[in-house]
Amino acid sequence: MVQKIINPNFNIKTFNIKCENKLSPLAKTIIKSFKFKLYYYVVDDLLYLLKSNPTELNYLLQILHSTVIFLQNNLYVNFFDIYVYDISINEVSKFNRLVNHQSDYFKVSNDITIKLAYQVKPITKKLETIW
């Protein structure tokens, strides 16, 4: 059993993403395995496990990279200090009875909630040598 350790040195930022693209069952399984993994391991897993579906791979990488870039640009977080604390997928079905085609009655979208844990280390002041 994995225990959630609350460390005062770590912060958690939640991102909610609405995906209009339909995710494959393989992608959903891979995404669910990201919990408590360092971010660069998550990227490694995606690159290796979804190489057979480059469109879905690129789509998921864009989502993940945008969350990490947000942390880097706004909170000055180091890439190596980020891990996926929690991730969940919620499938949302919308019924549209005004559509003519039988297959378009239900539109499925996925809402992905990503909680990234990160550590902000204080910037060390460079010591100047006196010569």
| Cβ atoms 82, 39 nearer than 8 A | yes
From CA 70, how far away is CA 14, in angstroms rounded? 11
Cβ–Cβ contacts within 10 Å for residue 110, how many? 18
Amino acid (one-letter) located at 80: F
Whole-model pTM: value is 0.76
Tokens of 26: 């393989």
Of 32, 115, 8, 109, nearest in space to 67 by CA: 115
CA torsion angle 58 64 66 71 (round to 10):
-160
List of domains in the chain: 10-119 (3.90.470.10)
Q: Which amino acid is at 22?
A: K
Per-residue pLDDT reduced to its tens digit, 70-93: 999 988 888 889 999 999 999 877
**Confidence (pLDDT) at 124:** 66
**Which residues, listed in sequence order, are joined to residue 119 by a DSSP beta bridge?**
10
Low-confidence ranges of the chain (pLDDT < 50): 1-3
Q: Say which residue the tokens 């003519």 belong to.
A: 100
Q: Is 34 helix (H, G, I), strand (E, B) or coil?
A: coil
Q: How many CA atoms lie within 13 A of 56 on its CB side?
A: 17
Q: Which residue has the tokens 């992905």?
A: 112
Which amino acid, one-letter code, is at 121? K
